[in-house]
Amino acid sequence: MAGWLDITAMRAPATVQDGGRPGQMHHGVPPGGAMVPELLARANRAVGNRWDAAALECLGALELRARGAPLRVSVDGQPPHALDEGEVLRVPASERASVSYLAVAGGVDVPVVLGGRGTLLVARLGGHEGRMLRPGDSLPVGDALSLAMPVDGPWEESGPIRLTLGPDTRHFDSLMAASLLGGTFTVSSASDRVGMRLQGPALAHGDEGARTSRPMVRGAIQVTLSGEPIILGPDHPTTGGYPVIATVIRADWGRLGARRAGTSVEFQSVSQHEAREAWREHARRFHAES
């Protein structure tokens, strides 16, 4: 262990998050992971960590102190800051995204639970005691590895969110798909890590909610009986019964998750081939370790 990060003050919720815990859906455990994986990767690679190392996901400002040793930290991939032992760092709220990420060289060394260190609030596991952080918490820091290089170039979160239509388009009138692709939606303040609720054109369908529940994935756009679309987030239920009109492609999860409440969302349909190519390029850019 290379020291501690002490949380001294905070003005909004924050949790420990990482690249997720895939492969646990059959146990009813969603994959989790960062709301905005691109910013997690930028922060981690700026301090020499693997892209998916555990870091702090912050919905607003917080204050922390290095204890036991000097530490090196980065917020959203900004040039690393050398934090002397005992020094206090004030991290402001993000001015452009819904969340920000503070990474420390060596990663936040909380226990691995079911293959990941991230906090899963709905199950109260992972992270720091399975809960949101609060002032007075002390987080252990691992040994620095210096594996990575900073991500090249800017990251642009604006523009339409790409999706693939289906699998339940048969439950919707053809005009509803046109409404999804041609309409402008607004992120609801009721959104969280479980799902992003959108306000906008109602997407009426003929499903009465009696269908058998089936597996769900992050990015699935479920439509409630009232026609409200809900885009499943990292902590989504592993099963669901509402019809899925489309699914946001994996390469755009972060671009969607970065949208604040009250901001607009527009969609663009792409083919499965285009979705796969977009993910290959995304992984090459943000996940490569050299």
Reading the block at residue 237, the tokens are 């239920």
The amino acid at 80: P
Provide the domain limits for residue 241: 161-287
Same domain, 210 and 136: no
The closest alpha carbon to 23, from 197, 178, 238, 227, belongs to 238
The amino acid at 191: S
Distance CA 56, CA 120 (A): 13
Task: Give the count of beta carbons closer than 10 Å to the beta carbon of residue 54.
Answer: 30
**Cα 11 to the center of its chain, rounded Å:** 20
The region that residue 219 occupies, defined by phi over 0 for left and psi between -120 and 50 for alpha, beta otherwise, is left
Query: What is the pLDDT at residue 206?
Result: 67
Same domain, 25 and 116: yes
Same domain, 191 and 132: no
**What are the residues facing 10 on neighbouring strands?**
62
> Where among 94, 110, 140 does a domain terminate?
140
Same domain, 23 and 134: yes
Distance CA 225, CA 220 (A): 16
Residue 154: inside a domain: no
Alpha helices by DSSP H, listed for 154-267, are 174-182, 253-257
Measured at the alpha carbon of residue 29, what is the angle toward residues 61 and 135, in degrees to the nearest 5?
Answer: 25
Query: What is the pLDDT at residue 209?
Result: 58
Same domain, 180 and 107: no
Same domain, 165 and 124: no
Same domain, 114 and 192: no
Domain count of the fold of the chain? 2
For residue 195, what is the DSSP state? Answer: E
Same domain, 83 and 192: no
Query: What is the pLDDT at residue 255?
Result: 96
Same domain, 91 and 168: no
Same domain, 167 and 79: no
Same domain, 232 and 125: no
Query: What is the pLDDT at residue 212?
Result: 67
> Where among 140, 173, 206 does a domain terminate?
140
Query: What is the pLDDT at residue 157?
Result: 78
The three-class DSSP label of residue 219 is coil
For residue 7, what is the DSSP state? Answer: E
Same domain, 127 and 181: no
Query: What is the pLDDT at residue 208?
Result: 60
**What pLDDT tens digit does each residue of the chain (290 aa) get?**
689 999 999 999 999 999 999 999 988 899 999 999 999 999 999 999 999 999 999 999 999 999 999 999 999 999 999 999 999 999 999 988 999 999 999 999 999 999 999 999 999 999 999 999 999 999 999 998 776 577 777 777 789 999 999 898 888 887 888 899 999 999 999 999 999 999 999 898 766 655 668 899 999 999 998 899 999 999 999 999 889 999 999 999 999 999 999 999 999 999 999 999 999 999 998 987 64
> Where among 77, 111, 140 does a domain terminate?
140
CATH number, domain at 218?
2.40.100.10
Residue 20: inside a domain: yes
Strands 267-269 and 161-165: parallel
The closest alpha carbon to 49, from 199, 169, 149, 188, belongs to 149
Residue 156: inside a domain: no
The closest alpha carbon to 178, from 109, 89, 267, belongs to 267
The closest alpha carbon to 136, from 243, 51, 64, 31, belongs to 64
